[in-house]
């Protein structure tokens, strides 16, 4: 096949538009407060649209379509899971964090646990952000390869570079306003392409009339509950989320912005669900698709671009490709900014250079942003298991970051000893459970192993509970021991007694 020149031109025009919007929006930034938090003056409309675009990324759209196509509605859990998680953030976490006048979500953890232990907790988030970005860039590359017939690595690099450039230039202002443009492309692309795909002659919904709802086998009940809780509570402790929270003018604006965005997140899960159902209802032998049927596992994540390419006219598929590209970049720039902000503020400034100037910290952010983009692009190009890494890091956000973040905000006696031991225990337990997607064998054997479905025990939730218990228990014991001088105060390097605060 020849390269799809009109489609390639359309994609490049889209990238130019996004780049210009990002540069224009970020031209007025003046301080680190402007760069990281848009001067804490973000209004409701910009905040709602930016939060929505950040969550409704390429992984959200492609993953929802894939789960609907091959597992049914019962397993299309991302939209409702993220909706509930965002609502919890809106009414529980966001107002409290905003009132604390933080710069990042790691500020209260460093204040509670100490700057070194709090800084350690950045690395699970960095891993999650890095592999999230790599996964969505990899998905975009495969989409481009299908529709444009170009090497995936080319578009991965172009997409990563464009997002990094305007993020480096204008920080959150650039990211927020490009998010708005990208969200418009997402909505238009999905709405326009849906009726064309649905009315293709190869689509016959009677093919899925008895299977579209999906099913949860009794043996998988534990795993199903585990995944539901993972999506709800694992969606809470992400810096990309709280960067918008802390940029809002008031706690009320932050609360209402996330609540409204959560509704939009749920609504925008509907089009990819329908596109996944269309993909399942299609007789692919009646299309120009000449690959393997049924789709092998490595092709299933590409069901949405396959629907766009083979069931829609070329101009419409280009619009749909714009939607996927916009979704990918809206998430890629957000996690890039989130990771570089924490690296510059909580690691570089708070730990190594407390007296660093705003200008110095901004330049560190820019360097970190470029390094992050380079790492994400490289992983997306060379790794065959980026999705597995992303899943594993998503697990770490649930079993490690959620308990740590919650205790830092709500538990008065939590301290660095409990945090550190809780981190180690949860990490060992999660690695010990193994990860089939990464071919990592387990060395800790949880109960309820099924010969067909594998491990069906809700082990992630158990690990999260153990993580909570460890943080609370170790913190309480060490605090009592140091305050009552059972252990000499000179050994209290993490200030468990609270006497030096």
Residue 100, both tokens = 């604390």
Nearest to 241 by CA among 80, 113, 125: 125
Q: Which residues contact 354 (CB under 8 A, 6 or more apart)?
A: none
**In a domain? residue 30:** no
| Burial class for 462, CB neighbours closer than 10 Å (0-12, 13-18, 19+) | middle
Query: Greater confidence, 450 or 421?
Result: 421
Q: Determine the distance from the C-alpha atom of residue 431 to the mean position of all C-alpha atoms in its chain, rounded to a whole number.
A: 21
Query: What mean pLDDT is predicted for residues 349-375?
Result: 91
Query: What mean pLDDT is predicted for residues 314-321?
Result: 84
The pLDDT, as a whole number, for residue 501 is 43
Q: What percent of the chain has pLDDT over 90?
A: 46
Whether 251 contacts 94, CB under 8 Å: yes
The pLDDT, as a whole number, for residue 384 is 62
**In a domain? residue 501:** no
**What are the DSSP E strand ranges found in 22-170?**
none
**In a domain? residue 183:** yes
d(CA 11, CA 3): 13
The three-class DSSP label of residue 42 is strand
**In a domain? residue 497:** no
pLDDT (tens digit per residue) in 82-122: 999 999 999 999 999 999 988 999 999 999 999 999 999 99
User: What is the SS3 string spanning 388-434?
Assistant: HHHHHHHHHHHHHHHHHHHHHHHCCCCCHHHHHHHHHHHHHHHHHCC
Nearest to 121 by CA among 381, 442, 277, 351: 351
Tell me the range of 27-41, 200-214, 380-394 where mean pLDDT is highest: 200-214
Residue 355, both tokens = 């007296």
pLDDT band at 489 (very low <50, low <70, confident <90, very high): confident
pLDDT (tens digit per residue) in 135-192: 778 777 777 777 777 888 888 888 888 888 888 888 888 888 888 888 888 888 888 9
**In a domain? residue 438:** yes
Question: How many structural domains comprise the chain?
Answer: 1
Nearest to 348 by CA among 132, 37, 106: 106
The pLDDT, as a whole number, for residue 327 is 79
**In a domain? residue 500:** no
Residue 4, both tokens = 């799809």
Domain CATH number, residue 462: 1.20.1730.10
Domain that holds residue 473: 5-24+35-491
**In a domain? residue 140:** yes
**In a domain? residue 51:** yes
Q: Which residues contact 475 (CB under 8 A, 6 or more apart)?
A: 407, 411, 413, 414, 415, 417, 418, 419, 496
Could you tell me the pTM of the whole model? 0.90
pLDDT band at 286 (very low <50, low <70, confident <90, very high): very high
Nearest to 163 by CA among 123, 185, 131, 136: 136
Q: At residue 411, what are phi and psi to the nearest 5 degrees?
A: -105, 115
The pLDDT, as a whole number, for residue 280 is 95
How many residues are there in the chain?
501
């Amino acid at each position: 096949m020849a390269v799809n020149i009109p489609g390639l031109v359309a994609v490049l025009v889209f990238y130019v538009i996004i780049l210009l919007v990002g540069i224009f929006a970020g031209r007025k930034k003046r301080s680190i407060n402007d760069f990281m938090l848009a001067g804490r003056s973000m209004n409701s409309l910009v905040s709602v649209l930016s939060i929505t675009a950040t969550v409704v990324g390429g992984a959200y759209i492609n993953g929802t379509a894939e789960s609907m196509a091959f597992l049914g509605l019962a397993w299309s859990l991302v939209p409702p899971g993220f909706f509930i998680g965002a609502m919890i953030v809106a009414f529980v976490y966001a107002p409290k964090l905003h009132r604390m006048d933080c710069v990042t979500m790691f500020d209260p953890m460093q204040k509670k646990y100490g700057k070194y232990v709090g800084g350690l907790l950045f690395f699970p988030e960095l891993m999650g952000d890095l592999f999230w970005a790599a996964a969505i860039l990899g998905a975009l590359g495969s989409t481009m390869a299908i529709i444009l017939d170009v090497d995936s690595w080319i578009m991965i690099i172009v997409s990563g570079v464009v997002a990094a450039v305007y993020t480096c230039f204008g920080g959150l202002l650039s990211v927020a306003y490009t998010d708005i443009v990208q969200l418009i492309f997402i909505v238009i692309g999905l709405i326009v392409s849906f009726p064309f795909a649905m009315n293709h002659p190869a689509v016959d919904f009677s093919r899925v009339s008895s299977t579209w709802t999906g099913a949860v086998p009794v043996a998988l009940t534990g795993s199903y509950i585990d995944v539901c809780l993972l999506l709800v509570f694992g969606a809470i402790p992400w810096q990309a989320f709280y960067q918008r929270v802390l940029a809002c003018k008031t706690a009320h604006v932050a609360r209402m912005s996330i609540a409204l965005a959560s509704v939009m997140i749920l609504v925008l899960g509907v089009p990819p669900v329908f596109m996944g159902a269309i993909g399942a209802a299609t007789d692919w032998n009646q299309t120009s698709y000449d690959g393997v049927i049924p789709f092998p596992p490595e092709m299933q994540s590409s069901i949405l671009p396959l629907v766009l390419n083979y069931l829609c006219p070329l101009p419409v598929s280009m619009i749909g490709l714009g939607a996927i590209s916009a979704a990918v970049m809206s998430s890629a720039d957000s996690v890039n900014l989130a990771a570089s902000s924490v690296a510059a503020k909580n690691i570089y400034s708070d730990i190594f250079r407390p007296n660093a100037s705003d200008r110095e910290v901004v330049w560190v952010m820019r360097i970190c942003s470029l390094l992050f983009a380079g790492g994400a692009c490289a992983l997306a190009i060379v790794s065959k298991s980026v999705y597995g890494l992303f899943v594993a890091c998503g697990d770490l956000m649930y079993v490690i970051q959620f308990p740590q973040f919650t205790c830092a905000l709500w538990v008065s006696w939590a301290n660095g000893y409990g945090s550190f031991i809780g981190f180690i225990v949860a990490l060992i337990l999660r690695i010990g459970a193994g990860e089939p997607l990464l071919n990592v064998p387990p060395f800790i054997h949880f109960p309820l192993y099924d010969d067909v479905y594998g491990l069906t025990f809700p082990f992630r939730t158990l690990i999260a509970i153990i993580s909570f218990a460890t943080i609370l228990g170790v913190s309480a014991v060490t605090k009592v021991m140091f305050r009552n001088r059972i252990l000499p105060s000179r050994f209290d390097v993490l200030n468990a007694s609270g006497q030096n605060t």
